[in-house]
Amino acid sequence: MDFIKHHLILAIVFLTGAAVLVVEVVATRILAPYFGNTIFSFSSILGVILAALSCGYYWGGWLADRKASYTRFFMLIFFGGLSVFILKIIMHWFLPSYGYELSMISGPLITSLLLFFIPGLLLGTLSPFAIQLLHLQEGHNAVGKTSGKIFFWSTVGSITGSIGSGFLLIPHFGVKQIILGVAFFLMILGALGTLLTSKKKVRHSLAIILLSIITSLAYAITPDGTPADVIFSKDGTYEQISVIERDYKGRPIHLLLQDLSSNSGTYLDTGEMIFEYPQYYSLYELFVPKMKRFLMIGGGAYNVPKELLAENPQVHIDVAEIEAELFPIAQKYFGLVPNDKLTNYFTDGRRFLHTTKHKYEMIFSDVYYSFAAVPMHCSTLEFFQAANERLHDGGIFMANFVGSLDPAASPMIFATIKTLKQVFPQIYVFAVKEPRTDIPQNFILVGHKSTQRIDLTLPTQAKDPYKVLKNLAQHEMTIDEADLENVPILTDNYAPVEFLLASVLKQYDNFIRTKIPES
């Protein structure tokens, strides 16, 4: 019997350690639709869960010294599972109502405390409890050996939960289903253990609780209602993906939502792009009119490749898009027709630049899809250098950034401009809305691999379907060297992207939440 109990405790420690890490990894997906995948979200989740586990270790040690028993051990597991189930209820009722009202800086910390502290605390009590139970079996002189076993199997469980979440659970199940699965598993494990080790009175009470929880779970597993205008929703490998259908300016549209942001949209009656910044793909007609090969980093709804294929059937287009789910969505909802001139590479854009053997006349980087999601590794000197190496002489690198010229919020965009200037002989900066306003907007940064300056006022016979070139000079920004003096050059070693964005996030939470075109 002692042999069975010994290995049962180690197995339970392994499984509960895995559960903690599953919740921790999935937590990033829970917060992303409301606060984005920022350093503030990651830091809040890690900090809160580590704090909860620390408190749980302390409290669990105190409880174990007072009266360690298998019944108490299993009851802690049961209530840990119950707290994860309550987490699911809070996700369902609190976040949709109040998530967008919280700041993108302090909101992740507040939400993490509300959602993850109690589950982390309760599950943290299990390790010291298990050490005490196992120590009582192995004798008073085996404290070090006992602790080592518990920490070993708990850590192995955590590793399994972490890897399993990323490679198995998230790619195949929804976030809500994963949370419910963890809650259900812990409650069943705790309830069965308690029923087998407790007195009859406790067994009856726990049986009633277990029946109530199973009934609640059956109700909770039913799909949540989605807004009527959401016609598609799925957890992708890297983000939550939704497609919205609604009327905008009296015309039907489809919008692509990637977590927090929507910068891809199409008018259904004409197939035209809704947003202005991707329309700057037309710059190729001014800079590289004889373009033969084009690279898009970040496919989104594939609006730009679709437009280019229609205008220039001879141009070969490569798309480096890390989220493989987007390509079939673009075909079904955004009018993309597969073409032998369009080649998809489902990989990180920067990695693609280092592995491809092709060279391009134009590279368009559109991975900066919201204030809340600026990939650091695609904002640095090394990234721009890699792009420059993949360009033919005379080619252009174009990138979309979101920012503001407000003095408190401008360091991010100016740091990026300063970094780009280190790589390209000529750069151009276009404010999509207005170069003299402080409101948040998209900026198109162009690095030209040429010493020749292009006259933006020259007449052109280009197609220019969105009239971008016609009004180009009015949107160009004049960069004063004084604006760049006190901002850093962004490198892989030092790129405080989230810190530079903090001022933007503080001032423009409401703007971010209302960016999606309303009916």
Q: How far is Cα 83 from Cα 184, in angstroms, rounded to an integer?
A: 11
Q: Are residues 39 and 160 in the same domain?
A: yes
Is 126 in contact with 13 (CB distance < 8 Å)?
yes
In a domain, 21, yes or no: yes
In a domain, 266, yes or no: no
In a domain, 225, yes or no: no
CATH number at residue 73: 1.20.1250
Given 220, 252, 287, the domain boundary residue is 220
In a domain, 489, yes or no: yes
pLDDT category of residue 456 using cuts at 50, 70 and 90: confident
Is 80 exceeded by the pLDDT of residue 43? yes
Q: How many domains does the chain have?
A: 2
- Tokens 């109690």 -> residue: 118
Given 220, 249, 268, the domain boundary residue is 220
Give me the pLDDT at residue 316, please.
97
CA dihedral 138, 139, 141, 144 (to 10 degrees): 30
Q: Are residues 193 and 336 in the same domain?
A: no
| Both structure tokens of 58 | 């302390």
Mean pLDDT of 104-109: 85
- Tokens 């090969």 -> residue: 293
User: Beta strands 240-248 and 230-235: pairing type?
Assistant: antiparallel
Mean pLDDT of 77-100: 86
Q: Counting Cβ atoms within 10 Å, is residue 269 exposed (0-12), middle (13-18) or buried (19+)?
A: exposed
In a domain, 252, yes or no: no
Report the amino acid identity of residue 232. F
**Coil, strand or helix at 409:** coil
Residue 378 falls in which region: left (phi positive, over 0), alpha (psi -120 to 50) or beta: alpha
pLDDT in tens, 268-287: 999 999 999 999 999 999 99
Contacts of 363 (CB under 8 A, 6+ apart): 294, 295, 297, 387, 390, 391, 395, 396, 397, 398
Is 60 exceeded by the pLDDT of residue 61? yes
Q: Are residues 201 and 292 in the same domain?
A: no
Q: Are residues 207 and 282 in the same domain?
A: no
Q: How far is Cα 190 from Cα 500, in angstroms, rounded to an integer?
A: 46
In a domain, 435, yes or no: yes
Q: How far is Cα 439 from Cα 290, in angstroms, rounded to an integer?
A: 36
Q: Counting Cβ atoms within 10 Å, is residue 225 exposed (0-12), middle (13-18) or buried (19+)?
A: exposed
Is 165 in contact with 175 (CB distance < 8 Å)?
no
Report in angstroms the alpha-carbon separations of 329 from 302, 333, 368: 9, 6, 20
pLDDT in tens, 147-190: 888 889 999 999 999 999 888 888 778 788 899 899 989 998 99
Q: Are residues 301 and 206 in the same domain?
A: no
| Both structure tokens of 447 | 């690095």
Give me the pLDDT at residue 258, please.
83
Give me the pLDDT at residue 20, please.
93
Q: How far is Cα 418 from Cα 489, in angstroms, rounded to an integer?
A: 6
Report in angstroms the alpha-carbon separations of 254 from 15, 114, 246, 272, 303: 43, 34, 7, 11, 12
| Both structure tokens of 167 | 């490679």
Q: How many CB atoms lie within 10 A of CB 174?
A: 18
Given 184, 205, 220, the domain boundary residue is 220
Q: How far is Cα 365 from Cα 398, in angstroms, rounded to an integer?
A: 6
Q: Are residues 429 and 348 in the same domain?
A: yes
Q: Are residues 430 and 339 in the same domain?
A: yes
Q: Where are the strands (E) in 332-489, listed by range? A: 342-345, 360-365, 391-403, 426-431, 441-448
The number of angstroms, rounded, from the C-alpha of 149 to the middle of its chain's C-alpha atoms is 36
Q: How far is Cα 14 from Cα 18, in angstroms, rounded to an integer?
A: 6
Give me the pLDDT at residue 508, please.
56
CATH number at residue 403: 3.40.50.150
- Tokens 């998530």 -> residue: 99
Is 80 exceeded by the pLDDT of residue 198? no
Please state the pTM of the whole predicted model: 0.79
CA atoms within 13 A on the CB side of 395: 19
In a domain, 28, yes or no: yes
Q: Are residues 213 and 358 in the same domain?
A: no
Q: Are residues 291 and 405 in the same domain?
A: yes
Give me the pLDDT at residue 333, please.
95
Q: Are residues 174 and 283 in the same domain?
A: no
Report the amino acid identity of residue 368. Y
Q: Are residues 199 and 302 in the same domain?
A: no
Tell me the three-class secondary structure of 91-159, residue by residue: HHHCHHHHHHHCCCCCHHHHHHHHHHHHHHHHHHCHHHHHHHHHHHHHCCCCHHHHHHHHHHHHHHHHH
Q: How far is Cα 31 from Cα 508, in angstroms, rounded to an integer?
A: 18
Residue 486 falls in which region: left (phi positive, over 0), alpha (psi -120 to 50) or beta: alpha
Q: Are residues 414 and 335 in the same domain?
A: yes
Q: Which domain holds residue 382?
A: 276-512
Is 50 exceeded by the pLDDT of residue 519? no
